[in-house]
Chain A
Amino acid sequence: MKKLAIFTEGQTEQLLSEQTVIYTAGEKQFAITKHSAHGGRNKPRIIEIGAESDCIEYFILIVDCGTDGRVKSDIIERHSTLASAGYEKVIGIRDAYPTVKYNELHRLRNGLKQGLPDGAPSISFILGVMEIEAWILAEYTHFQKFHPNLNIERIKNELGLDIIRENLSQRENPAKDLKDIYWLEAIHYDKSRTLISKILDAIDQQHLRDEVSKKFDDLLALYQELELFFSN
């Protein structure tokens, strides 16, 4: 059985990763286990490495680390356990905002590669630039599925945001853009699991893979990592 672990900075990244994995896996026999690594002294941070079954070919663990700073830290902390459990790849997904600015991205990318443990499983990082919400924003077909009155013309007219033409990877705070857009229909983007799930249900994964990924190198890299994982 092949095993992949994805560590995300939050719930949105975890749920979007799950959908992306499901889309990429297609008809393969796979299983996904999700964990939240929130916790503290009296509520330990537990990341279980397990929950396997013999009848599946691919196993994917998706861990919500709770905060951007914990993604790399959790991966380093769990690397030897993941290695013993036979994981072949670890992907860390986190936003750039608010820690670094757009013109500092190269420094973050370089920094993320430093201090990683040697040996398998190999580790790579995917950055939501500036936030993973930019990918959701760019998958503009979902807005009208989510609410029939949310179309790109209205968004352009009322918010001055041209989703099709603008380089959305340069938007500093795309989560706020999403919030403003949904608020046009008095929908509060509170990042609750229910709302995020509803938004992601409206996302067209094929559009995300074929079109949106052309505009975001990191999203393309995520698909390529997943496709490689499921390729044999």
Chain B
Amino acid sequence: MQLESIKYSEYDDEPRAWDLDMFAVDQINLIVGKNASGKTRTLRLINNLALLLCGERKPSSLSSSNFNAKFKDDNDTYQYVVNIKNGAVIKEEFQSEKNKWLTRSQDGTGTIFYSAEKKHMAFQTDVSELAFTSKRDSIQHPFIEPLYQWAKSVHLYEFGTSLGGNLLELKLEGAAEANTKNTQMVVGIYRRGEKEFADKFKTSIKNDMKKLGYHILDIGVATPSDVQIIDPMPSPGELVEIWIQEDGLQAKIEHRKISQGMFRALSLIIQLNYSTMTKMPSCTLVDDIGEGLDHERSCALIELVLTKIQASKTQLIMTTNDRFVMNKVPLEMWTVLHRQGSHCKVFNIKNAKDKFEEFRFTGLNNFDFFASDYLTENKK
């Protein structure tokens, strides 16, 4: 299942209102826009919707959010609508072209389709819960499962952050595997990859890093040499972190000592490799891709990510302010956000086809499409 479009608003009719036009999403998407145009916010709201749908975030944690999202798979298209106010769900609907599967109202009452009985039946759920998650049942409501799996597969990588570079992992006996949705938990995700795919995983990471100009001979996890747990003693588990061995250097480098740009690249590569090797269709969100990398590596990273994504069923939505990233990504993959007050307008080849195609003939590079306000000036 893939996200086809999303429309969002919050705090309607209030001074702090904000809304995003319908954003039609393709397999690979690059969101560009000036500062404060809503790029990061757009990724976060997609991630928030996913967290709600897979039960990792409760509606009660949101004071105002109205989502209207469309999805598609090989068989059908689906629409999920949810309005949340003051932590309570005031409207929720899930339907496909063929059937209105679920509908519920402000008081928590609604109807849902029962597959065994082949009919809709009434239910009541807590106003602070999504019926979508509370009614999840693969026998009675199998239509929920694909969207739930989509939500599980959404990963948000905030490239401008450390991406786990300042975190160690405490390995506990019998503990659950690292949650891949927590993209800061790169040590645990690396361990999962090494355990499930062994040398194939390592080799792929080394090859990908080489494409970015980082020559890594070996990679693994080990106990840090300079950190120990003194309270409680004995320690409940073993502290571990990633190390790498770079070509030309004898000593292994622990991940906290790797340069920030290099570690961000390493972390993203580890997580993308794990995601693509598990072969689960997923939705990858990368905020500020290339941030902190030099020009060559920034371009190489974009090339690498595009190649990996194009060879998989993954959907990719990235944001950037970097001119070199913009010049590397074809304009057809662009979405330009333009904020007018609290309203965030969306332009891409689906709703501004003429302007996008006409730009080819200006002879300018992609960055100028953004920098010269070509779209909005011509829209006036």
Binding site for B on A (CB under 8 A): 39-43, 67-73, 76, 92, 94, 99-100, 104, 107-108, 110-112, 114-115, 125
Contact = CB atoms under 8 A, between A and B. Distances in A.
B361 A73 contact: no
B324 A40 contact: yes
Given A69-B327, A73-B368, A42 B295 contact: yes
Nearest to B295: A40
A51 to B, nearest CB: 25
Interface residues of B, number: 19
Nearest to B360: A99
B76 interface: no
B332 interface: no
B215 to A, nearest CB: 19
Given A40-B324, A41-B324, A67-B327, A108 B361 contact: yes
B322 interface: yes
Q: Which among A41, A42, A107, A108 has the greatest number of chain B C-beta atoms within 10 A?
A: A41
A169 B368 CA distance: 29
B298 interface: yes
Interface string B324-356: 100100000000000000000000000000000
Contacts of A70: 327, 365
A69 B295 contact: no
A111 B366 CA distance: 15
Q: Which among B294, B322, B363 has the greatest number of chain A C-beta atoms within 10 A?
A: B363
Contact of B362 (A40, A42, A111): A111
Q: Give chain B's interface secondary structure class.
A: helix
A111 B322 contact: no
Given A42-B295, A43-B294, A71 B327 contact: no
B367 A40 contact: no
A162 B364 CA distance: 35
Nearest to A115: B362
A5 B364 CA distance: 18
A125 B372 CA distance: 20
Q: Which among A42, A68, A92, A94 has the greatest number of chain B C-beta atoms within 10 A?
A: A42
A114 B377 CA distance: 14
Contacts of B327: 67, 69-70
B247 interface: no
Contacts of A107: 361
A125 B363 CA distance: 10
B295 A72 contact: no
Nearest to B290: A41
A130 to B, nearest CB: 14
A115 B322 contact: no
A43 B368 CA distance: 20
A214 B324 CA distance: 39
B117 interface: no
Given A41-B322, A41-B324, A67-B327, A73 B294 contact: no
B259 to A, nearest CB: 12
Contact of A114 (B324, B362, B365): B362
26 contacts: A39-B295, A40-B295, A42-B295, A43-B294, A43-B296, A67-B327, A69-B327, A69-B363, A70-B327, A72-B362, A73-B364, A73-B365, A73-B368, A76-B364, A94-B363, A99-B360, A104-B361, A107-B361, A108-B363, A111-B358, A111-B363, A112-B361, A112-B363, A114-B362, A115-B362, A115-B364
Contacts of A114: 362
Contact of B361 (A71, A92, A100): A100
Contact of A40 (B296, B358, B361, B364): B296
B338 to A, nearest CB: 19
Interface string B282-295: 00000000000011
A225 to B, nearest CB: 18
B294 A41 contact: yes
A73 B367 contact: yes
A112 to B, nearest CB: 4
A92 B366 CA distance: 18
